[in-house]
Amino acid sequence: MKERIYLSSPHMSDEGYEMQYIQEAFATNWIAPLGENVDAFERELAQKVGIKSAAALSSGTAAIHLALKAAGVGEEDIVFCPTLTFSATANPIIYQNATPVFIDSDYKTWNMCPEALEQAFHKYPHAKAVIVVHLYGLSADMDRIMEICRRYNATVIEDAAESLGTYYKGKHTGTIGDYGIFSFNGNKIITTSGGGMLVSNNEERIAKARFWATQSRDPARHYQHSELGFNYRMSNVVAGIGRGQLKVLDQRVAKKKYIFEFYKSQLQELEDISFMPSNDWDEPNYWLSSVILQGNVRPVDVMEILGRENIESRPVWKPMHLQPYFMKYDYIGENISTELFKNGLCLPSDTKMFDSDLERVAGIIQSIWRQ
């Protein structure tokens, strides 16, 4: 069996930064629940992305949940959500007993279509919040989206789970809306094995989110709870991994870009293949190098052949409005997201890949076109 090539797997620093912080946690016996690593990780990430405050949490999903709660989203509220995303974006809307309305993509960004968003507000002018996803590290058209949302007084939550290190017009994604969330799941550009971060310039709301995330424990000698709480805080060990990973974020972004440009140089001349879009205002982190196939070769054909060679690849996300659980909710758009799903393919984008691995992947794909 040939050596496995992964789509995107954890990549610890060569310098061993993570172990330094983990060992410190063990040496001081601050394993959990909190500790210096958690506090420092919050400060360091906030400083890195240029925002006032951050709360380290157990997952990106937890961060979206608390962002919705901080925005006052509750029962019967409408929340607009991109349909082309992972279910973790949409699930917290249901946690809050609110109602998702799914918004189509556009070809320009692969993200939320501003025209479809405007149509959604015409239909639901009192929508409480909008979750914007920066898919595969590509930033959404934030100026247009923010202008629309401000006009309708809707809270903007940026799901930047896949886009840490991506810039929109010189600003980090996740820092443009009212709230931003990052994920440190094992497949993300940096990882803590699992975990997430909620960020905002509203320091009071972030402090409230930390309170909710720590079981809403009131400041009393005894255990007292005046509000519903959640067990959402990040552990001190996990945060130590995050601090080490944050030191190599720029390296990881550079390698992801190298991978994308390698594939593009090798594959762009193939008939009926195109790469994910780029815009003048977008500096992506290229989390996953993704392509669109519109000829006789279908994504499933490529995935099966790569799979036989022990190479991992994936389809583009299946839209939420096509998912069995979410089909009952409204959808606004023209099925661009459906076309992206049908024709999209995510190529292996693991930052531990060598040129020989990239040549192996590209060579197999080229051979498919020669057949």
Asked if residue 96 and residue 214 are part of one domain, the reply reads: yes
| SS3 sequence of 156-187 | EEEECCCCCCCEECCEECCCCCCEEEEECECC
Asked if residue 53 and residue 71 are part of one domain, the reply reads: yes
Sign of the CA dihedral 283, 155, 201, 191? Answer: negative
Count CB atoms within 10 A of the CB of residue 269: 10
Let me know if residue 302 belongs to a domain. Answer: yes
Asked if residue 47 and residue 189 are part of one domain, the reply reads: yes
Let me know if residue 7 belongs to a domain. Answer: no
Let me know if residue 2 belongs to a domain. Answer: no
Let me know if residue 12 belongs to a domain. Answer: no
Asked if residue 257 and residue 208 are part of one domain, the reply reads: no
Residue 199 makes CB contacts below 8 A (sequence gap 6+) with 45, 46, 49, 51, 53, 54, 55, 174, 175, 179, 180, 181, 182, 206
Instruction: Tell me the CA end-to-end span of the chain in Å, nearest whole number.
Output: 24
Asked if residue 335 and residue 205 are part of one domain, the reply reads: no
Q: What is the pLDDT of residue 34?
A: 85
Give the H or E element holding residue 78.
strand 78-82
Encode 87-106: b = buried (16+ Cβ within 10 Å), e = exposed. Answer: ebbbbbbbebebbbbbbbbb
How many domains is the chain partitioned into structurally? Answer: 2
Asked if residue 294 and residue 237 are part of one domain, the reply reads: no
Asked if residue 194 and residue 86 are part of one domain, the reply reads: yes
Q: Are strands 179-183 and 196-200 parallel, antiparallel or unpaired?
A: antiparallel
Q: At 139, list the tokens.
A: 């930033």
pLDDT, mean of each 10-residue run, the chain (371 residues): 94 97 93 89 98 98 98 97 98 98 98 98 98 98 98 98 98 98 97 96 98 94 94 96 98 98 97 96 97 97 98 98 98 98 98 98 97 85
Last residue of a domain, one of 199, 215, 246: 246
Let me know if residue 1 belongs to a domain. Answer: no
Last residue of a domain, one of 246, 280, 310: 246
Asked if residue 337 and residue 233 are part of one domain, the reply reads: no
The CATH number of residue 234's host domain is 3.40.640.10
The CATH number of residue 362's host domain is 3.90.1150.10
Asked if residue 242 and residue 154 are part of one domain, the reply reads: yes
**Residue 293 β-bridge partners:** 273
For residues 370 and 292, give the distance between their C-alpha atoms in angstroms, rounded to a whole number: 18
Q: What is the pLDDT of residue 95?
A: 98
Q: At 64, list the tokens.
A: 């979206």
Asked if residue 236 and residue 152 are part of one domain, the reply reads: yes
Let me know if residue 4 belongs to a domain. Answer: no
Q: What is the pLDDT of residue 33?
A: 75
Find the domain containing 63 and state its range.
17-246
Asked if residue 323 and residue 185 are part of one domain, the reply reads: no
Let me know if residue 66 belongs to a domain. Answer: yes
Q: Phi first, then psi: what are they for 83, rounded to 5°?
A: -80, -30
Q: Phi first, then psi: what are they for 77, rounded to 5°?
A: -70, 150
For residues 224 and 204, give the distance between their C-alpha atoms in angstroms, rounded to a whole number: 21
Last residue of a domain, one of 219, 246, 273: 246
Distance of CA 64 to the CA centre of its chain: 11
Sign of the CA dihedral 239, 242, 244, 246? Answer: negative
Asked if residue 333 and residue 231 are part of one domain, the reply reads: no
Cα distances from 186 to residues 12, 161, 291, in angstroms, run: 11, 12, 23
Let me know if residue 54 belongs to a domain. Answer: yes
